[in-house]
Amino acid sequence: MAISIALIILLGLCGDYLFRQFKLPGLVGMLLVGILIGPYVLNLMAPEMMTVSGDFRKIALIVILLRAGFELRRDTLNRVGRPALIMSAVPAIFEILGVMLAAHRLLGMTYLEAAILGAILGAVSPAVVVPLMIDFMDRGRGTKKGIPTLILGASSVDDVFVIVLFTVFLGMYGGGEVNLWVQFAEIPLSIVLGIIAGLIPGYLLYRFFTKYDWRPPKRTIVVMGAAIALTWLEVAVAHWVPVASLLGVMAIGFVILEKSEPIAHIVSQKLKRLWVFAELLLFVLVGAQVNIHVAWQAGLAGIAVITVGLLFRSVGTY
């Protein structure tokens, strides 16, 4: 597995560098590297690496979500609250509708099957959106109107909304009874519980750091540990209540920033350095999960469905 990590680092950095030279997103190069060295093409990665791939990807996602939390300010959130809620639902609904129409026409799916596909494609990837928005914040782009914060908040809630829609569509497809009221009531419940689940450890960590003067690396490790435990909590209580743990991860950073900016900035800088490695792991391992043969079978029709979905999403966003 050590060799697999070496391949991820060296080839991932090469892919990132090459694509940046052509003014293209470096993550595309990392994804392509993952596809090439993954089990469906050259198969250079150890099976053990693919087994723990999900855990590594989750940890990498937690790193960037914590960074996002350390960039969220209360005054900006208050300003963009209502638009963020609209952005979390309307674009996704438009994209699902577009994919549903296109997939029915081009791929021969039933409308319900196409709706399930739309719910899958309609989910926003925080791993892509969050780093870009943090970069915009660092460069001061759109910060006067709070646009990066708006998109950060909307992308987090978007996933919760789309997952509920996916569950509803899947239940209908399986022929089971689906209680729409219960399903949609879970959206605000999971959001509120997720935020509360993050605010509590965030506040406790703030009190702990003010009482004990730990070095920045140790503080960062403790914050990471609390965030990882929060994602475990979501799985542990899933049978009883829904908890949007990713929102909770962001809430940890948010409450520490509100209580102590110096502590928040120190931890955020450590996470920024950690993200260099985590980003490589995340995108190369995501690429390794792609079955290029299945994607190839979809062909131009599959590309057309994705394009139509993006066009509809653009209309909904506008």
Tokens matching residue 22: 């052509």
Q: Are residues 18 and 140 in the same domain?
A: no
Q: Are residues 205 and 277 in the same domain?
A: yes
Domain count, the chain: 2
Indicate whether 315 belongs to any domain: no
Instruction: Note the pLDDT of residue 176.
Output: 62
Give the tens place of pLDDT for each residue, 58-107: 999 899 889 888 888 887 777 777 788 888 888 999 999 999 999 999 98
The residue behind tokens 């997103």 is 25
Indicate whether 307 belongs to any domain: no
Q: Are residues 179 and 268 in the same domain?
A: yes
Residue 198: strand, helix, or coil:
helix
H helices within the chain, ranges in order? 2-21, 26-37, 47-51, 53-69, 74-106, 111-121, 126-139, 147-173, 180-211, 216-236, 245-259, 261-288, 292-317
Rounded percentage of the chain residues whose pLDDT exceeds 90: 47
Tokens matching residue 190: 């999971």
Q: Are residues 9 and 144 in the same domain?
A: no
Q: Are residues 40 and 138 in the same domain?
A: no
Indicate whether 311 belongs to any domain: no
Q: Are residues 112 and 22 in the same domain?
A: no
Instruction: Note the pLDDT of residue 297.
Output: 80
* Mean pLDDT of all residues belonging to the chain: 88
Indicate whether 226 belongs to any domain: yes
**256: containing domain:** 64-283
Indicate whether 45 belongs to any domain: yes
Cα 298 from Cα 305, distance rounded (Å): 10
Q: Are residues 26 and 144 in the same domain?
A: no
- Give the pLDDT band of residue 175 (cuts 50, 70, 90): low
Q: Are residues 68 and 205 in the same domain?
A: yes
Q: Are residues 76 and 35 in the same domain?
A: no
Rounded percentage of the chain residues whose pLDDT exceeds 70: 98
Residue 145: strand, helix, or coil:
coil
Residue type, 161: F
Tokens matching residue 187: 């959206």
pLDDT higher than threshold 80 for residue 179: no
Tokens matching residue 242: 């829904």
Indicate whether 317 belongs to any domain: no
Q: Return left, alpha or beta for 83; rule: phi > 0 is left, psi -120 to 50 is alpha, else beta.
A: alpha
Indicate whether 303 belongs to any domain: no
Average pLDDT score over residue span 139-167:
80
Q: Are residues 7 and 116 in the same domain?
A: no
What are the backbone dihedrals phi and psi of residue 239, each rounded to the nearest 5 degrees, phi first?
-75, -20
Instruction: Give this prediction's pTM.
Output: 0.86
Q: Are residues 207 and 74 in the same domain?
A: yes
Indicate whether 14 belongs to any domain: yes
Q: Are residues 100 and 176 in the same domain?
A: yes
